[in-house]
């Protein structure tokens, strides 16, 4: 059976096109002396003049349509058009959807409008049915901190979102990482490795487009199970003072970035950390062996005769009632709970371990902390004991109840 070719093409977008258009001479004599003439010698000057005029008048959709009259491999057309043309020439794709990822800048949005109009003009020729450009929030070079902490992570999120919107199958998606910031290109290559997505790149000085080879890399998702509550807090923008981060697992610290704010060091989720989370969710969109519990297996949560935080029982009952694959919950002994883990409501996987001479299996632990900082713990029992399913459950519960 033949392998299906990618149907969705995601293309990162940089500034080569507007840079070229700004450098294009407005007069024919200057054009003949420019670096663009060699590729466009056979094109009527009126077509070149129209492109320059629309650029100067900031008529972005009209400019995109005018560019469609030029050879797609002409250097004037920029990295995105040139590299996509090389991909189509190789017949590596059968793309019906094209998503252009642009920076969170005026120039990025303008380039998105130009390229969208260009591909709308050529959609029938290329077999495209859906063409869109997406702005990657906070992906800009004016605030390096935002670029590092949020922009690259938002790039990862957007790739995951597009996969969910289209094929739900990473093998039917390809990324052209030619355009954009260097860090953006590197991050996109890592996304390809984490999600088994084909990633392509074309250097402006080379005619050949290359594929980043897939690597036999397996990510350790146990970290997501053990620190699911903390990773979600990081994903939502929380930071941890560096002295606190020094107390967490080395594997977790590998997913964090160091950030300096007002002279103090903090840890925040890194782009690699976002790739790690997105990779798990793409590979495991649902559990394999986590069926809904039948009525005979569902038991009301049980609570020891202890003093509990305000709203604790109501919260545990809500989680149990609304989650069909949870069979029951029960509170855990109160001793030692004065310092509830991370001082936040959340869920994590306590790995199998020896206790009092016998092995305790993997189990999901929920923590609840009220407004006064008073907390308690409880165990969540599910219809599966498979570790990957339990990690999925931890991530699901954290995203839906924290």
88 and 233 together in one domain: no
Cβ–Cβ < 8 Å for 109, 135:
yes
Say if 35 falls within a structural domain: yes
Let me know the angle formed at the C-alpha of 58 by 54 and 63, rounded to the nearest 5 degrees.
40
Structure tokens, 252:
């977790």
Last residue within a domain, chosen from 212, 241, 268: 212
- What pLDDT score does 1 carry? 46
Task: Kindly report the backbone phi and psi dihedral angles of residue 135, in degrees, each rounded to the nearest multiple of 5, phi listed first.
Answer: -85, 125
208 and 325 together in one domain: no
**DSSP of 10-70:** EEE--SHHHHHHHHS-SSHHHHHHSTTHHHHTTS-HHHHHHHHHHHHTT-HHHHHHHHTTS
Instruction: Quote the distance between the C-alpha of residue 80 and its chain's center.
Output: 21
Say if 177 falls within a structural domain: yes
- What pLDDT score does 245 carry? 61
- What pLDDT score does 243 carry? 67
**DSSP of 103-131:** -SSHHHHHHHHHHHHHHHHTHHHHT-SEE
Stretch (H or E) spanning 224: helix 222-226
Question: Judging by DSSP bridges, how do beta strands 173-176 and 198-201 pair with one another?
Answer: parallel
Q: Which residues of the chain have pLDDT under 70?
A: 1-2, 214-217, 242-247, 335-342
Say if 3 falls within a structural domain: no
Task: Kindly report the backbone phi and psi dihedral angles of residue 385, in degrees, each rounded to the nearest multiple of 5, phi listed first.
Answer: -115, 5
318 and 241 together in one domain: no
Say if 217 falls within a structural domain: no
Question: Judging by DSSP bridges, how do beta strands 97-102 and 8-12 pair with one another?
Answer: parallel
52 and 172 together in one domain: yes
3-state secondary structure of 236: coil
Cβ–Cβ < 8 Å for 221, 190:
no
Question: Considering only CA atoms, which of 103, 184, 98 is closest in space to residue 137?
Answer: 103
275 and 337 together in one domain: no
CB atoms within 10 A of CB 20: 18
76 and 179 together in one domain: yes
Cβ–Cβ < 8 Å for 200, 174:
yes
Cα 374 from Cα 206, distance rounded (Å): 62
- End-to-end CA distance of the chain: give it in Å, rounded: 45
- What pLDDT score does 9 carry? 96
Please give, one letter per residue, the 3-state secondary structure of 246-302.
CCCCHHHHCCEEEEEECCEEEEEECHHHHHHHHHHHHHCCCCCCCCCCCHHHCCCCE
How many distinct structural domains can be found in the chain?
3
18 and 160 together in one domain: yes
131 and 201 together in one domain: yes
In which domain, by residue range, is 19 found? Answer: 8-212
241 and 356 together in one domain: no
Let me know the angle formed at the C-alpha of 80 by 78 and 113, rounded to the nearest 5 degrees.
90
Last residue within a domain, chosen from 263, 283, 303: 283
330 and 229 together in one domain: no
Say if 290 falls within a structural domain: no
Say if 75 falls within a structural domain: yes
Question: Considering only CA atoms, which of 292, 377, 367 is closest in space to residue 326?
Answer: 292
């Amino acid at each position: 059976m033949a392998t299906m070719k990618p149907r969705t093409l995601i293309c990162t977008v940089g500034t080569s096109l507007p840079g070229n258009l700004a450098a294009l001479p407005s007069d024919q004599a200057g054009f003949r002396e420019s670096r663009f003439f060699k590729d466009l010698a056979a094109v009527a000057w009126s077509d070149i003049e129209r492109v320059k005029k629309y650029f100067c008048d900031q008529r972005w959709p009209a400019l995109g349509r005018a560019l469609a009259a030029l050879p797609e491999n002409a250097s004037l057309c920029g990295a995105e058009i040139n590299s996509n043309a090389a991909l189509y020439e190789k017949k590596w794709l059968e793309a019906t959807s094209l998503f252009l990822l642009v920076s969170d800048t005026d120039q990025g949005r303008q380039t998105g409008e130009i390229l969208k109009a260009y591909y709308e003009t050529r959609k029938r020729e290329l077999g495209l049915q859906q063409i869109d450009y997406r702005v990657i929030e906070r992906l800009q070079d004016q605030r390096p901190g935002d670029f590092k902490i949020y922009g690259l992570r938002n790039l990862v999120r957007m790739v995951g979102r597009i996969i969910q919107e289209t094929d739900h199958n990473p093998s039917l998606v390809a990324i052209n990482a030619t355009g954009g910031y260097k860090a953006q290109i590197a991050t996109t290559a890592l996304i390809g490795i984490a999600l088994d997505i084909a990633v392509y790149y074309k250097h402006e000085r080379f005619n050949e487009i290359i594929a980043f080879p897939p690597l036999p890399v397996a990510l350790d998702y146990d970290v997501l199970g053990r620190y699911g509550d903390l990773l979600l807090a990081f994903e939502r923008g929380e930071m941890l003072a560096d002295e606190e981060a020094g107390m967490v697992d080395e594997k977790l610290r590998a997913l964090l970035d160091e950030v300096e704010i007002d002279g103090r060091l903090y840890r925040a989720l890194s782009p690699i950390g976002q790739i790690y989370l997105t990779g798990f969710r793409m590979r495991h969109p649902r559990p394999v062996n986590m069926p809904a519990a039948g009525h005979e297996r569902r038991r009301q949560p049980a609570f020891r005769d202890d003093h509990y935080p305000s709203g604790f029982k109501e919260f545990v009952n809500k989680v149990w009632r609304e989650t069909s694959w949870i069979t029951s919950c029960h509170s855990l002994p109160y001793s030692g709970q004065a310092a509830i883990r991370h001082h936040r409501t959340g869920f994590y996987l306590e790995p199998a371990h020896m206790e009092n001479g016998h092995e305790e299996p993997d189990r999901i632990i929920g923590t609840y902390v009220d407004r006064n900082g008073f907390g308690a713990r409880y165990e969540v029992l599910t219809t599966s004991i498979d570790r990957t399913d339990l990690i999925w459950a931890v991530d699901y519960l954290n995203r839906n109840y924290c």
